Structure 1
């Protein structure tokens, strides 16, 4: 009996040990390694709240669907940047030194990223921003900076293609005075120069500008010639700009307003005041293909955001935050379970000592894994090209009522195609721009010409010569003593007016006669041309000859008349009309030459024929007469008669 109890006890212990081993093995298989990740966002802004919510949803969705296969878990450590550069830098420094995060999602703005990138570079920790779009944040600056959003440079080509489609030759950018606003301007200028469109003025708005300061700048724009405006600023500032523009009448017929994606993506038209102030606005934003997965995520977003009234509609930045988090989690899992640690360097007691910033031991591996990560996210194909996202498709929207109507699609391959459904076909050109169904400001359907006569424009001073005689046909100056004005006309004036009328923009100018107080010419043509060099005239129009010494002071246009002088003079006919007029062309030299040849031919004939030809006779006078007759015959008779004459003499001879 005791032996049986002992056996049962041993078996029980063995069975218990077996269960413990199995449970321990299963538990070991489900052990996950926590990986600290920092999140630096502005908790009080719309994009910050949206980004944080999308990041949390991304991790929840990923680990719910791959929980059994993933050995790592991202642990989010949130920090509030408080909307300042210093706040973002302090938050990143705290995460790197005290939490030892392996990556940082954020920061939000380009100004904040400009500083945080340096910290990530020193600590060899990837910095992944889904909203810093300034081109100044070049991928060549740091190998640890990843832009999970578009570079503002990518939309510049779409904007220039739209402007080129309507043939506008001038545009004014209105941008916020910070790194986000200023970063795009050099590239916008280069793109517009390629289509012969210039930027005559650049309007800069301070981020904290008051309504009065905005109005002051808008009034300045009203006095200018250009009516094409490109707005590049956050929606919070841009909405105020448009409401003030509506207030002073700048949203009327003839104006064109184009917004970049930084404002278009946050465009909300539920507010009636904002919607009324932005009627006819053109917006550029990245194209996102609508999929069932995106629709399902948008439904979940709206359902989860019902209790948070401060969070507005989901936009592209939320989608990029979601996909960037998925990419980071996949990259962490790709480098495999390991000890995620930091190497301490120059440790000091100062908590903010940059020299003591630790260096991640897996930073380079994580950086390479992020570069190689590629998948299809809710925003589309997600992969880093030169450590930033890249897209070749942009939507062109038109604000009509409370809707954002898609009027065109721009692609790098086809430009703005006529066939918007298939995104194929020839690009829209100025001659076919009317095919785009656009409602312009002022509820106008007619295409704005892009300029008006300015109210503050300084007129060009065009110098004209004061001359009499034939020169007056080119330029004629008539002074009206009563009105103290001068009327200028002539061929050169007509050509100049015609050229100026063909320009696609308005250029004001006045003709200024080059005369003295007496109404006479104030000098020679050289003196008048030299006035352009001195700055007294902006140009000179007239019958001016292009010569070398004048080219040292001014530039000439192509000549519009042929070179040379043509004269028409009367001719008096003094020729005598007599019967002997036929002898007029015969000069004495010609007569003398003819007589010499006449005698020479007679002598040759006499030498050859005098002994054998009986026609010559025996007497010298008869021989002389016959020789002269034959010589005369060769010059007077036709060739046919001469041949017959020779044949007759030959027959008689034989």
Structure 2
């Protein structure tokens, strides 16, 4: 301020220490001339500005909706399906069949591990494809194309299984807290009882949007608000509370683990000082407020006002919402699109190369299917069967055995 002002501070309260009225009553005292000004947390409202003047707001404000946090995840017998979307399950299943069939096509003409009766070969395809999820299959892969495909498929299976394991572990072990109520509209539709600051203008706002008087419960302190929210509607409390944002920061700085602000249904200009209309002090005080707001002193004041009381809670100034909503995100095809596309391209290239080579070698053949099922003897891959275990010499007949002592 460019000049000194002499002042006397008076409390707007009764002899017993209780408030002498609401904030509207306090502002009205300035209009009546009983007070020269109001210095405090008075919210700038349009209806109040019709009979008094406000300075520039010294702190931003608003009305926030605070609701309890609760465990909303339901456990069931099919939780192990939830980490992956149904599209990813189907894509993975189809990929197992495609890879298994491709490896069989590339190997069965010269690899004895992929030969045999039709039923045996079909079971080998399924066994080879799905066994790659947990261990290396016993069937040998000999051709270059099949080996290249299997290496790429092993990498995809590794990424899929690790991602699935991590997602399932998070789903089963992490406590997922979410708001029990998400908006003011849901409170109105369900006919819930709500709380509000006793002397605040919030009561009038709630009545305007349709809350009946019987569903409004006032409170004075943060401790009282916590107790009523904990009790809930069935035990004489309320389901949600409406607080001005500065008070909401203080509340969450003390009870950050149990509550969350989900909505800011009412916007207001902020807290300002109150003067009679046309008072010359309004402009000078507003300039002084702007100077403080533009200096580092403003952050120091805000940290002093909204100091957290609970050590485990984050700073309410830098993180006013300590409980962001936690949702379980399913892994979808988009997360692995490049990997699946790469495997399908390898399948197409190896199959295309095999088909061209087969057709080139089968010129003039009348029955290509019969030729396809025949064992290829002229392959560049030489398969040597494992030698059998050498047979042990046959024991001599006991009747023909001679005693060395008899020769003496």
Q: TM-score range by the shorter chain?
A: 0.3 to 0.5
State TM-score, norm by structure 1: 0.22
Compare CA radii of gyration and give the structure with the larger one: 1
More strand by share: 1
Structure with the greater relative contact order (CA < 8 A, sep ≥ 6): 1 or 2?
A: 2
State TM-score, norm by structure 2: 0.32
